[in-house]
Amino acid sequence: DIFGWIGGILTLIYNIPQIVYVYRTKTVKGVSNLSMFMRFISYFFYIVHVWIKKDWSLFYTYCFGLLLFTLLIITEEVVQTMP
Residues 21-77 have pLDDT tens digits of 777 887 767 667 777 777 778 778 878 888 888 888 778 888 888 888 888 888 877
Question: Which residues have a Cβ under 8 Å from the Cβ of 80 and sit 6 or more positions away?
Answer: 28
pTM: 0.58
Give the span between the Cα atoms of 46 and 44, in whole angstroms.
6
CA torsion, ordered 13, 36, 73, 19, to nearest 10 deg = 30
What single-letter DSSP state applies at residue 42?
Answer: H
CB 1 within 8 Å of CB 54? no
Alpha-carbon distances of 78 from 10, 17, 22, 34, 36, rounded to whole Å = 27, 17, 10, 19, 16
Task: Report whether pLDDT(1) > 70.
Answer: no
